[in-house]
Structure 1
Amino acid sequence: MTQRTDVVVIGGGQAGLAAGYHLRRLGIEHVILDAQAAPGGAWQHTWDSLHLFSPAQYSSLPGRLMPVQEGALYPDAAHVVDYLADYEKRYALPVQRGTWVESVHRDGPGLRVETDSGSWTARAVISATGTWTRPFLPAVPGRREYQGRQLHTVQYRSPSDFTGQRVVVVGGGNSGAQIAADLAGTGTAELTWVTQRRPRYLADDIDGRALFDHATARRRALEEGRIDTGGVASLGDIVAVPPVRAARDAGLLTAKPMFTRLTATGVEWADGTQTQTDAVIWCTGFRPALAHFAALRLRGTRGHIATVGTRAVDEPRLHLLGYGDWTGPASATLIGVGRPARDATREIAEFLRP
């Protein structure tokens, strides 16, 4: 059986909910298809100690401020999950849980969305699947021969899982620094942190508020034809959240250059020496989860789909939301996704107008 609606939103995390909020305000019939069994998107699968690096009021979706978490300037992931669940309920967003989208096809004047529980046809589709379900692992020599434990950021939970072990954390971004600090701060594991280049910390007084302001200023400069001020990455790679700052200042976060290969029992360095290790944690980023669009043949370099704003260049009935700056400045953040969600839904409203 095929069901019909004006807009199908794929993904019920923060970006999908922001889209649903604006579609509801515009009176556009829609459904939000989410593969998760519960609200919260990727936030329900993070490591135990993860906190936002913005205060609650700077981490809110459109229409509803995130409540302050008692005793915490920067809310933890569980607080974010509760907020997203409340947001979904507050605005009665039409989320269908446990629905896995398998593929999207052109179907006459609309698009057909095939799921594991049936089909939908829609006049437009918003994809908001994010990146969390598509972790990236680099092709490092020896990775398949290594006999220890390998896991990605998405699988890390707690230092207690590595008590007494020798652990190598790979990655010089926020996840790498935070997980390295998490392990170093407890002293339960013997930590080696490796990065491709020397870690670049942002100034200690910079948090998500300043990063959002920087992204906003960049967007305005581009819109007005002024010189590109550079993205958030131009300021540095690592936000010095309190645990990272504490570990760094205590001398516990000394990064080593990247090893040249993995051996069966550990890592080998550029000078030929080897270090035995029990586990490697790859904090090496993600790629956009867009496999459901394979039949549309839209993907180009780096797996991206070419867009103007959020709209796909080669398929005007498709909008992409929340994947990073290429779908709107800071659109992969809670506070940043509101504006591109608003712009996308307004453009869809114009497209649907008789």
Structure 2
Amino acid sequence: MEYADVVVIGGGQSGLAAAGTLRRHGIEPVILEASARPAGSWPRYYDSLTLFSPARFSALPNAPFDGRGDRYPSRDDVVDYLTGHAVRLGVEIRTGTRVEAVERDGAAFTVRTADGRSIAASGVVAATGAFGNPVRPVLPGQERFTGELLHVADYRSPKNYAGKRVVVVGGGNSAVQVGYELAEVADVTLASRSAIRFLRQVRDGKDIHHWLTGTGFDHLPPEWLVHFVGGTLVLDAGRYQDALASGTLERRPMFTALDGDAVVWADGTREPVDAVLLATGYRPDLGYLRGLGALGPDGSPLHSGGISTTHPGLVYLGLEFQRSFASNTLRGVAADADHVIPPLAAHVRKAPAAVGL
């Protein structure tokens, strides 16, 4: 068995932020990344995805995006950015290495990988995000639905939907962005349980993120968000609202069931559709911690601000609303790393010498 002070599980933005902060605390981590390159889930997002925040507000500390700061980086821009950052960081990153389980072994952890290897470590950073665990609600009648039913995690581009009737389930940013691009080639309806609420992207000539970061809103505790926001908001420079107003993109209350080749709308109308696309979000992808006893019954991590409440030496990064509105974003994850890494580093320095050999 080999040894590492800290194993970081996940080589995307959260794992890289963790690794950089660990090095500043004098600890050399080992990053284990399941995919072929250190870019996390970004290479698997849909082709047209762009960040909802400009480049100047979307980077890790001391690692700005190349090019204009007011542009909105694409999926591929982010992949290139993270891959280049990983090279500059100079930490050990093992790609193509999927973690199957984390176990407790006395005072240390044992991290077991899909290729049969084991690594003992004093500390573990769970930084695998949520893309690998999409929420797929069970819809009434879906077992008899003859159309295509997929999650946005499996969607790449509108090219296969030209001329088709498509229903996108959801009312968040991804639902609206994907629905809007599909509407250029298909007949599209957004189905959501409540009306879509928009937040104006540009105010007084500046992107909303200028105000979010300048006012400190990005770092408000999650409980404050309920008071200020009250629900999901979709960032929009105007085109999405215009599409809804013009009828190019339609929104209807959530349908009640699927029935053969059709959806059944709330008013009882039965309408044939070719595809139903679920933009219904994600949950933390932490199945490798289940046997450790670090998760609740619903698979959610038991933590306080990203620090495990069940296992000293285990911390999390990249959880939605982990500590703030921006916790699972490029611009926000480093602040959370600054919160969880110091106590982890202190734990590692006090750990039994046998683990560090």
What is the TM-score of this pair, normalised by structure 2? 0.90
The answer to whether 1:325 aligns with 2:321 is yes
Letter matched to residue 5 of structure 1? A
Letter matched to residue 253 of structure 1? L
Change over 3 Å in CA distance of 1:64–1:45 after alignment to 2 = same
Query: How many Å separate the matches in 1 of 2:88 and 2:228?
Result: 32
Contact 1:53 1:208 in 2 (8 A): no
Query: How many Å separate the matches in 2 of 1:235 and 1:207?
Result: 17
Letter matched to residue 27 of structure 1? G
Moved more, 337-346 or 292-301: 292-301
Paired position in structure 1 for 2:112: 114
The answer to whether 1:200 aligns with 2:194 is no
The answer to whether 1:216 aligns with 2:218 is yes
Change over 3 Å in CA distance of 1:214–1:154 after alignment to 2 = farther
Per-residue CA deviations over 1:304-327 (Å, capped at 9, x if unaligned) read: 222122111011111011011135
Work out which of the residue numbers 257, 263, 275 in structure 2 matches 1:261: 257
Deviation at 1:151, TM superposition (A): 1.1
Contact 2:102 2:109 in 1 (8 A): yes
Query: How many Å separate the matches in 2 of 1:329 and 1:31?
Result: 28
Query: How many Å separate the matches in 2 of 1:107 and 1:294?
Result: 15
The answer to whether 1:239 aligns with 2:235 is yes
Secondary structure of residue in 1 paired with 2:81 = helix
Change over 3 Å in CA distance of 1:41–1:210 after alignment to 2 = farther
Moved more, 324-333 or 265-274: 324-333
Contact 1:182 1:243 in 2 (8 A): no
Query: How many Å separate the matches in 1 of 2:217 and 2:78?
Result: 22
The answer to whether 1:28 aligns with 2:27 is yes
Letter matched to residue 308 of structure 2? A
Contact 1:268 1:275 in 2 (8 A): yes
Query: How many Å separate the matches in 1 of 2:240 and 2:54?
Result: 17
Per-residue CA deviations over 1:105-162 (Å, capped at 9, x if unaligned) read: 0001100000012011100100000000111111210112101111111111112110
Per-residue CA deviations over 1:246-301 (Å, capped at 9, x if unaligned) read: 53454423310000000110101122210100111000011110110111122226
Secondary structure of residue in 2 paired with 1:44 = helix
Paired position in structure 2 for 1:17: 16
Deviation at 1:214, TM superposition (A): 5.3
The answer to whether 1:287 aligns with 2:286 is no
Structure 2 residues not aligned, in runs of 5+: 351-357
The answer to whether 1:230 aligns with 2:226 is yes
Query: How many Å separate the matches in 1 of 2:52 and 2:237?
Result: 6
Paired position in structure 2 for 1:337: 333
Moved more, 38-47 or 132-141: 38-47
Q: RMSD of aligned C-alpha atoms?
A: 2.1
Deviation at 1:349, TM superposition (A): 1.5
1:98-109 matched pairs, under 5 angstroms:
98-109=96-107
Paired position in structure 2 for 1:55: 54
Letter matched to residue 332 of structure 2? G
Change over 3 Å in CA distance of 1:189–1:291 after alignment to 2 = same
Paired position in structure 2 for 1:38: 37
Paired position in structure 1 for 2:2: 3
Secondary structure of residue in 2 paired with 1:27 = coil
Contact 2:8 2:31 in 1 (8 A): yes
Deviation at 1:245, TM superposition (A): 4.7
Contact 1:105 1:296 in 2 (8 A): yes
Deviation at 1:80, TM superposition (A): 0.6
Deviation at 1:232, TM superposition (A): 7.3
Per-residue CA deviations over 1:25-66 (Å, capped at 9, x if unaligned) read: 222021000001123211111112111111111000122112
Change over 3 Å in CA distance of 1:122–1:339 after alignment to 2 = same
Deviation above 6 Å: which 4+ runs of structure 1?
A: none
Letter matched to residue 330 of structure 2? L
Secondary structure of residue in 2 paired with 1:124 = strand
Change over 3 Å in CA distance of 1:128–1:242 after alignment to 2 = farther
Contact 2:303 2:309 in 1 (8 A): yes
Query: How many Å separate the matches in 2 of 1:8 and 1:243?
Result: 44
Letter matched to residue 201 of structure 1? F
Letter matched to residue 281 of structure 2? G
Deviation at 1:93, TM superposition (A): 2.2
Deviation at 1:163, TM superposition (A): 0.8
Contact 1:7 1:29 in 2 (8 A): yes
Contact 2:197 2:234 in 1 (8 A): yes
Change over 3 Å in CA distance of 1:325–1:272 after alignment to 2 = same
Contact 1:33 1:100 in 2 (8 A): yes
Work out which of the residue numbers 72, 75, 100 in structure 2 matches 1:77: 75
Query: How many Å separate the matches in 2 of 1:4 and 1:159?
Result: 46
Aligned length: 344
Structure 1 residues not aligned, in runs of 5+: none
Query: How many Å separate the matches in 2 of 1:133 and 1:246?
Result: 33
